[in-house]
Structure formats: structure tokens, C-alpha cells
Chains A and B, each alone.
Chain A
Amino acid sequence: MKVLVPVKRVIDYNVKARVKADQTGVDLANVKMSMNPFCEIAVEEAVRLKEKGVASEIVAVSVGPTQAQETLRTALAMGADRAILVQTDQDLEPLAVAKVLKAIVGEESPELVLMGKQAIDGDNNATGQMLAALLDWPQAAFASEVVIEGGKAKVTREVDGGLQTLDVNLPAVVTADLRLNEPRYASLPNIMKAKKKPLDVKELGSLGVDTTAKLKVVKVTEPPKRSAGIKVETAGDLVSKLKTAGVL
């Protein structure tokens, strides 16, 4: 079974995003960039499927600038077999990314697309579901457990108030939630090996996909700051303050 794993290069999750003074976006100059944490979980799951003998080949794909090659090398170091970069300096919306991924699925014919549920920059939580819709494939979003058997994926999903299990026919799109697994760190020998694995670069324009933006960013601002309140000395003080504030 071939598994396609889309990955995104985003601001490192330990770095606090700072809004640019001119309100055009978030300042990414000289900021540490890494693989989106949910994408790492998806790569890890694909590698585990390969280690179990369920997956035969893992193809990592990213849509982004030249530097996204580093993100793909990370996926290769974790255990992906080869990588594809669809190169563009445009900041694509989730629907455009889903259309690009659909074109790649057309070329690669994977039986499973395993990807993160959301990227921590745009926080849209949409691309996987959109890809499934465009392909007319079933989906299992927010997966916390994935079992492949008999041409199906049995996926436990995190839903409001608990867990749900679905059986989806392959090919399908599965999006990873936090508890699916804990991604491994790539070992040094694997990082070295990853440098020799194939990484194919395609220009976005060569795919013939309409990636026109549908949204205009009017401005990006800082959220209103909450100011620190007061310190109280005892639990008794706290209760009387809360009663005064009318919340008890």
C-alpha cells in the first residue's frame, strides 16, 4: 500500500508569533521554522504502518517555497521513502492546497493520504477534508488510532465528548490528531541517509491547477491583551472577591 503524506513548513511551535507593525501578517523573518506538529504525527503513523508491513512506500509531499525541502528532508529522515516539493512562493489557501494535492494523488495513486488535522499557522483545519471531498473519497478526520485491514481503514476519531470509530474504504483521507502517536526524533544516520533519498521538485504552474486566492487579508492584528489582575492572600479573600465580582 502506497501512503501519501502531505507536510507543511510552519513557524516552530515553541516560537511565539509576532504581528508585523504594518498589520500585513505575522513576522516570519529570522524565525525558526519546522515541520507542522500534526504533520509530524502523520509521518510517524505512516512510518509505523511501513514497519508493520502494511505500507509499502511512503511519499511525502509539500507545497511551498524552496526551503520546504528541509521539511521534506525531515520526513525522509523519519522514514519516508521519497519526496515531492510543489514549489511556489504564493501563500496558498487550504482549497488551493487541496487542489494541488488532488493533482499529486492523480499522479501517484496512493491508497491512503495521511495528513495532519491542521497547520498551526493558519489553524484552518480544512485541507484534508477538502481533499477528500474533491476526490470523492471517504474521510476519517481527527484520528487517534488507525488500523488497516481488508481494504479498509478502521479509524478511531476524537469527537465532541468522546471517541467514534469508523470503517472507511480505501482509498481514503485520514487526518491525524494529537494522540495518534508520539513522533520519533530522526537519528543522525537516518538524517545522513535522507540526504540521498529522491526529492523531486515541480513548479506549481506545471500542474495546471487554479490556485487563485478567494480571500483577501484585510489586516492582521494582535488580540486584545488581558491585563494581570490582583494577587489575593488567602482562599477566603478569593471567595469574597469572587462574590463581589458577581461570579459566585
Chain B
Amino acid sequence: MAVLVIADHDNATLKDNTHKVVTAAQAIGGDVDVLVAGTNTAAIAAEAAKIAGVRKVLTADSAELGQGLAEAFQDLIVGLAPGYDAILTPATSQGKNFSPRVAAKLDVAQISDVIEVVSADTFVRPIYAGNALETVQSSDAKKVLTVRPTAFKAAAEGGSAKLESVSAPAAPAKSHFVDQKIVKSARPDLGAAKIVVSGGRAMGSAEEFQKVIEPLADKLGAAVGASRAAVDAGYAPNDYQVGQTGKVVAPELYIAIGISGAIQHLAGMKDSKVIVAINKDGDAPIFQVADFGLVADYKTAVPELMSALG
């Protein structure tokens, strides 16, 4: 039995999602290898080799892998598939992009967004925006899974896996990278932050969102999130969106400000350890999931919170 985990990285550093998916792989059992595909893979692979319990770290380097082209990932992983019983990818936008192609080429089902490994062939995943959990048993000889990282603890460090380079596939002929705009931020990554401060439609404008939410986030060293309503209204950029259609987060502390708590937002944050809601409508659904609720207008509550934090 051997499991391949596809590493999450940005061609510079390894992301913690990788450690979490390794934990899911260990729950399946057998040897766990990690594949680092992209550019600058040597440095990233050295970090991956430190994850405890990893047998070996494979590296594949090419410009197209670095650009995340789904066709390149498909060819690479399908080529490695004969050596593995299961292939696990973090359920990030990038993982969701290529993993179904791998499953289709192997003629197996993809089990998407796994949140629990029951046994080597049985998995739990959310459906209907997290309103139901489905337990499925796979009859495929080879399993292809995307794994929701927030549902697993990060594997510890302390390993010393050996490194092995594999050849990168030929550049895809029909798909070409043009450019990429990644928002640079001094704040922690939304998916990995210990504290998240999110704003909703109550902010009323992009200026207000920046004036209210961002200073509080910076004071707490938190990442900034937003409800879909706030994103759709143009108050916050798309990659701030927390929810079923955005990012799924599970920080130690989630502070929802002026967010009513639509089902689709709750699906993206209800696994947070402690949830705080600040909303002037005491009947807002967000209070049904909040550990601490403050019924107040954010315009007065947030400045008070800032001064109480000192």
C-alpha cells in the first residue's frame, strides 16, 4: 500500500496544507510519498522531507507545472499512478483544477473535499453546501481524493525523507499561460490564519470595509475575510470570500462583523474553534453558531473593541 500526496506550494515555500493532507494519507495507511511539482522544487522538497512519516519526496520541475497547468499535472500524476493505491490532493483551487482530470484518465471516481477517512476505502465529505455529510465507499482499485485541509491536523515535523527527481511531462500543446495577478499581503494567509476577521454587507462600501475590518485584523495579526454579499457588492476582493463558494476556514478565532450568517457563509467557517459575532440584528442567524455574540452596531462596537484590546 502506498499513498501519493500532492504538495501545496507557491513555487517558493511549502504550505501547511501539505502537512494536513499527509495526516489524511496516514489515516489511509501504507507508505506516504509527497510530490512537489512546479519550479524551485529543491527548496520546497527539502521542507517536505522534514514531515514526519514521509517515505520519499518526488520532485518534478517545469515552467508549465510552475504555472499550474492542469494538463501538465494530469500527465505527471497519471504517469506516477501505477506506483500508488491512493492519490491525495489538497482541495485548493489548484487541486480542484487538476485532480478530476487525473481521476478521469485513471477511469476512477474522484472523491471530493474529504473531511474524514473512515477506512482505506470509505470517506466522509460534505454535500449540499455542508448541510449534509455523505459517507461513501469506493470500489475503485485506485482512489483519487481531494482533501479539505482544515479538517485534518498538520503532520508533525522531524522526518528525513529521501528526495527523488522525476522527469516533468512535455509542455501541454493546447494550453498556454498568459499571466497571473496574485494579491500580495503582509497579513497571514486566509486559509492558514489563527484568527480571521470578516466583514459583511453591513459595511456598506469598500472604504468602510477597509476602515473598519482591516485595522482590527492588523491589531490581532489576523487574516481578513468577507461574506459573499460583501464581495458581490464590491466591498472586498474575491479572494477574501469565506463560504461554500469561497474559502473554507477553521481558525482558532473567527470574528464576523456585520455578517448575517447565510447558510453558504456558515458552511465556510462553522468549524472555527471560537466564533464571535457582532451584529446589530439580534435575530441574525450568525448568533446561532456564535460562541460569543455582541448585539451592537459595528460602528460603535469595533472602535470599543479596538480600545479594549489596548
Asked if A228 is at the interface (CB within 8 A of a chain B CB), the reply is: yes
What A residues does B228 contact at CB under 8 A? 178
CB distance from B192 to the nearest CB of A (A): 11
Contact between chains at A130 and B239 (CB < 8 Å): no
Contact between chains at B304 and A95 (CB < 8 Å): no
Contact between chains at A164 and B305 (CB < 8 Å): no
Contact between chains at B135 and A154 (CB < 8 Å): no
What B residues does A162 contact at CB under 8 A? 180-183, 239
Measured CA separation A13–B274 after assembly (Å): 28
- For B, the interface residue count at a CB cutoff of 8 angstroms equals 89
Measured CA separation A141–B74 after assembly (Å): 14
Asked if B55 is at the interface (CB within 8 A of a chain A CB), the reply is: no
**A119-151 interface code vs B (CB 8 A; 1 in, 0 out):** 011111111111111100111111010000000
Asked if B157 is at the interface (CB within 8 A of a chain A CB), the reply is: no
Asked if B270 is at the interface (CB within 8 A of a chain A CB), the reply is: yes
What A residues does B291 contact at CB under 8 A? 229-230, 245
CB distance from A104 to the nearest CB of B (A): 16
Q: A94-B110, A223-B130, A234-B304 are in contact. Are A218 and B100 (CB under 8 A)?
A: no
Q: Which of A98, A140, A169, A221 meets B132, CB within 8 Å?
A: A221
**B233-256 interface code vs A (CB 8 A; 1 in, 0 out):** 000001100001100000011000
B103, B126, B173 pick with most chain A CB within 10 angstroms: B103
Q: Which of B67, B105, B273 meets A247, CB within 8 Å?
A: B273
CB distance from A220 to the nearest CB of B (A): 5
Q: A126-B110, A141-B70, A247-B273 are in contact. Are A219 and B127 (CB under 8 A)?
A: no
Q: Which of A44-52, A73-81, A196-204, A236-244 contacts B (4 or more CB under 8 A)?
A: A236-244
Question: 3 shortest A-B CB distances, which residue pairs?
Answer: A235-B304, A229-B291, A129-B100
Query: Could you list some 28 contacts between A and B, CB below 8 A?
Result: A11-B128, A18-B131, A26-B128, A95-B104, A121-B128, A124-B100, A126-B99, A129-B104, A130-B103, A138-B175, A159-B94, A159-B97, A159-B182, A161-B183, A164-B177, A165-B178, A167-B175, A169-B175, A214-B140, A215-B136, A215-B138, A217-B134, A219-B134, A223-B126, A223-B131, A229-B290, A242-B292, A248-B309
Residues of A within 8 A of B (CB): 11, 16-19, 26, 93-95, 98, 120-134, 137-142, 144, 154, 158-169, 172, 178-179, 214-223, 226, 228-236, 238-239, 241-242, 245, 247-248
Residues of B within 8 A of A (CB): 10, 67-71, 74, 92-94, 96-105, 107-113, 122, 126-140, 172-183, 189, 195, 220, 228, 232, 238-239, 244-245, 252-253, 263, 270, 273-276, 282, 287-296, 301, 304-305, 307-309
